Amino acid sequence: MSQHTQALTEFLAALHYQQLPETVVSRTEDLFLDWLGSALASQGMHPIPLFERYAAKMGPGSGPAGILVNGQSSSAYFAALVNGASSHLVEQDDLHNSSVLHPATVVFPAVLAAAQDLGKSGRELIVAAVAGYEAGIRIGEFLGRSHYRIFHTTATVGTLAAAVGVGKLMGFNQQQFTHVLGTAGTQAAGLWEFLRDAADSKQLHTAKAAADGLLAAYMTADGLSGAKNILEGEQGLAAGMSSDANPSHLSQGLGERWALVETSFKFHASCRHTHPAADALLALLQQENLSAQDIASVTTRVHQGAIDVLGRVQVPQSVHQAKFSMGTVLGLIAVYGKAGLPEFHQYALTDSRVSDFRDKVSMLLDEEVDAAYPQRWLGRVEVTTLDGRTLQSSIDEPKGDPGNTLNRAELEDKFRRLLAFSGARTDEQATGLIGLVWDLRYLDDLTALTRITSLTGSAA
Amino acid sequence: MSQHTQALTEFLAALHYQQLPETVVSRTEDLFLDWLGSALASQGMHPIPLFERYAAKMGPGSGPAGILVNGQSSSAYFAALVNGASSHLVEQDDLHNSSVLHPATVVFPAVLAAAQDLGKSGRELIVAAVAGYEAGIRIGEFLGRSHYRIFHTTATVGTLAAAVGVGKLMGFNQQQFTHVLGTAGTQAAGLWEFLRDAADSKQLHTAKAAADGLLAAYMTADGLSGAKNILEGEQGLAAGMSSDANPSHLSQGLGERWALVETSFKFHASCRHTHPAADALLALLQQENLSAQDIASVTTRVHQGAIDVLGRVQVPQSVHQAKFSMGTVLGLIAVYGKAGLPEFHQYALTDSRVSDFRDKVSMLLDEEVDAAYPQRWLGRVEVTTLDGRTLQSSIDEPKGDPGNTLNRAELEDKFRRLLAFSGARTDEQATGLIGLVWDLRYLDDLTALTRITSLTGSAA
């Protein structure tokens, strides 16, 4: 095993609650609320009911772990599976920039299901989540941009992040963390190919990452051994799935740099790659007092990753695809001033003003933006107006980024809007959940987080 | 979608029992018996009980699908998982040469579990298995040698093979086969790194391939969409995990060439890469009337894949690792004249004559052998005797290969030995199972294949 994997696994084994700065603890609670909202927002939306039915068919009829969208219960494996699927659907869950990893949607489903199964406390959940974030983000950075070009990092690395989180909950020592990385890493999968067809794989990816990671931890606890050098070995993850892996990322700043607090909240309901340009355009429209019909064309200057992920869809056929269409996102911004869930579902595919605007938008690779990525996601747009002016706008930190983050009031507002969007919980229930999450570090019993009855006092 | 994927999915959708030549039907029965023996042979051996416990913890207490090693039942997902794990442990399951795929251990667990769940007949099981073999072997050939260098093809391609088999059982049309390939392909995972540490991932790989493939088919049947071009797309399987993919393999000889009958049975209980040299050495020892103590050194002339898979273990620490040690395998052949399960478990790690012989064995890359691989697995050994002679031996078709296959009497004998080795079933029960399998095409009810009670007439 290399010094970097060794250092990472030693850090994970030694990590404890008292070591966490207050900002890390409170940000974990923020991220957890944000995740909970994302999961509940997808209630009833395709393909989530398919995962619910699969869990009902293959799993036990009930169990110790809760399924958020329907308030039912199952074994930890199936709760992680369904909650992992549901929390990534509406594209409102968090993102870590430099790793291009969505940590919440893979870490929280696994650690919450395992914590409920094992009877762990909110404090233990927080430490477990931090372990999952810190490991997952560093492994994502380690695998680099070449990995993300083909592989959906949240799927692949997500499996390891989830496994580490559950392992922490189980009190793994350094050897067990090594094994669980091996067992999770050899299950790591997820290809971007589905984007081209707007296929349902994105939810499958996060579902499987959370559930497979949980499987890895449970089986490691029972004695399953894994490869000792799965990250850096000659036939390991980087050897097979990266051409620019950098092992030093694995141990970078352990215990000093808390990668979890670098995680961004999503403000717009679209793919994160569209946010810098959306914010830059929004700033320009407000500053110049322009509206959609004043614009002749928009050139967004972007990083290569944005072109790879967004470039293949010209005319979106589904709401999900619309979230990956730069033109549609900017069209919603230009016409409605925002690109939230309601705008996507009501207007993204049907409003001709949005589709007209979409056709005016192009993407251009920009050297400065590309060089800054993925550490910084710079927004650069160049707008030509119908009256012949050329205007430029730039933002260096999109809304929701660590330096431009959402405060608790904004997070509560987003949470309530997500729940109202799906109707998964009443506003009163939302209030109850918010209270529970802001008390997460003091909770001894985590069952109330997923049970609908516990909030209403009556059967759901 | 390319013409090759199109042709493959059209073939799969149209495939029907009447179309299968008698040799294909009877060989499928042969392969099924061989698989059943491999699964039962691992009863009680690490890490199989871990999978049994995981299924018991996460799944329902009982269900429509049978778990072979313990005679219990669960949902189809967990039966596929445990049977997938157990059938690859003793390294006695079949292998297809040019794809380097072990089809049985991934296809049969999935299709048997699904067939029991769905109440399908033996005839339908046979067609489903043929679909899984034909698709899996071609996809393995398509991904090529560069894939196998890092990835465990039986794990990655196995997921697709299992999915196709279950999809056939469910009567998928061409569109559904396209979706199921997408959904299975984006879950495809499995790295060789574990071999270095003799970690338990090999069983995890086959377990997950069978179970994930089954998941893909069930969710496709319920409407989950997958990428349309997962095999050949710009961000698909070959793009991410191969550098020498050849799409023409996908459609090669569909309906004319039956790849299933090209599958080899394993005669020795070791990694297939050791078999050509083992057979060549055995022939030489018999011909020259030599014994282990007459030999000064053995040079095996092998293909690169053998060096990649076998080259990292010098001194095996476990029985499983011994099966991947060329020197140990040849040592057993030289000392005992065979390398079956009893020899591995009783002598591979403890007999100093075997370890002394092991240290006399080396591997050398041979151009002719490498060029023939993986279509043909040539055995070439050069032996130096203590009295100063240099002898050479070569075999062109190892025992168990299609041109040197096992007949039904040999298969029955192997089956009985496998069951006697583990004690999973009595010899009387073995007789009952053999009878069932030779009648597979006439069976309406497949539950008796996994239930212990049905064979003894009393509770197990």
- CA dist., res. B356 & res. B327, Å (int): 9
Summarize pLDDT for A276-314 with one digit per residue, the tens.
999 999 999 999 999 999 999 999 999 999 998 898 778
Both A17 and A120 in one domain: the answer is yes
Q: Select from B112, B114, B85 the least CA-distant residue to B206.
A: B85
Confidence at residue B453, expressed as pLDDT on a 0 to 100 scale: 58
Please name the residue of chain B whose CA is at the shortest distance from the CA of residue A57.
Answer: B75
- CA dist., res. A152 & res. A192, Å (int): 6
Q: Where are the alpha helices (DSSP H) in A186-288?
A: 201-221, 237-241, 248-251, 275-288
Confidence at residue A453, expressed as pLDDT on a 0 to 100 scale: 58
Confidence at residue B91, expressed as pLDDT on a 0 to 100 scale: 87
Residue B266 pLDDT more than 50? yes
Summarize pLDDT for B379-414 with one digit per residue, the tens.
999 999 999 999 999 999 999 998 899 999 999 999
- Write the CATH number for B378: 3.30.1330.120
Name the average pLDDT for chain B: 95
For residue A155, being part of any structural domain is answered with yes
Summarize pLDDT for A84-98 with one digit per residue, the tens.
999 999 989 999 989
Summarize pLDDT for A58-82 with one digit per residue, the tens.
999 999 999 999 999 999 999 999 9
CA of B321 vs chain A CAs: smallest distance (Å): 13
Residue B126 pLDDT more than 50? yes
Both A248 and A118 in one domain: the answer is yes
Query: In the predicted model, what is the mean pLDDT of residues B200-222?
Result: 98
For residue B53, being part of any structural domain is answered with yes
CB within 8 Å of chain B, chain A residues 291-350: 308
For chain A, say whether B201 makes contact (Cβ under 8 Å): yes
For chain B, say whether A62 makes contact (Cβ under 8 Å): no
Confidence at residue B320, expressed as pLDDT on a 0 to 100 scale: 86
For residue A413, being part of any structural domain is answered with no
Of B375, B399, B423, the position where a domain reaches its end is B399
- CA dist., res. A388 & res. B143, Å (int): 53
Both B66 and B109 in one domain: the answer is yes
Both A372 and A232 in one domain: the answer is no
For residue B58, being part of any structural domain is answered with yes
Of A399, A414, A431, the position where a domain reaches its end is A399
Question: CB count, 10 Å around CB of A9?
Answer: 27
Name the average pLDDT for chain A: 95
Both A209 and A284 in one domain: the answer is no
Mutation for A interface: B74, B78, B186, B309, most A CBs within 10 A: B186
Q: Which domain holds residue A152?
A: 3-262
Both B179 and B61 in one domain: the answer is yes
Both B248 and B386 in one domain: the answer is no
Summarize pLDDT for A379-394 with one digit per residue, the tens.
999 999 999 999 999 9
Both B252 and B285 in one domain: the answer is no
For residue A78, being part of any structural domain is answered with yes
Of B244, B262, B280, the position where a domain reaches its end is B262
Query: In the predicted model, what is the mean pLDDT of residues A166-180?
Result: 98
Number of domains into which chain B is organized: 2
Residue A457 pLDDT more than 50? no
How many beta-carbon pairs under 8 angstroms link A with B? 215
Summarize pLDDT for B299-349 with one digit per residue, the tens.
999 999 999 889 877 899 999 899 999 999 999 999 999 999 989 999 999
Q: Between chains, do A60 and B61 touch, taking CB under 8 Å as contact? A: yes
Both B256 and B341 in one domain: the answer is no
Both B249 and B347 in one domain: the answer is no
Q: Between chains, do A227 and B197 touch, taking CB under 8 Å as contact? A: yes
Model confidence at B455, pLDDT cuts 50, 70, 90, reads: very low
- Whether residue A378 contacts residue A368, with contact meaning beta carbons closer than 8 Å, is answered with yes
For residue A169, being part of any structural domain is answered with yes
Confidence at residue B137, expressed as pLDDT on a 0 to 100 scale: 98
CB within 8 Å of chain B, chain A residues 155-184: 155, 179, 182-183
CA of A116 vs chain B CAs: smallest distance (Å): 14
> Residue A89 gets which letter from DSSP?
T
For residue B451, being part of any structural domain is answered with no
For residue B169, being part of any structural domain is answered with yes
Cis link prior to B47 (omega < 30° from 0)?
yes
Model confidence at A189, pLDDT cuts 50, 70, 90, reads: very high
Least CB–CB distance from A227: residue in B182, B183, B201: B201
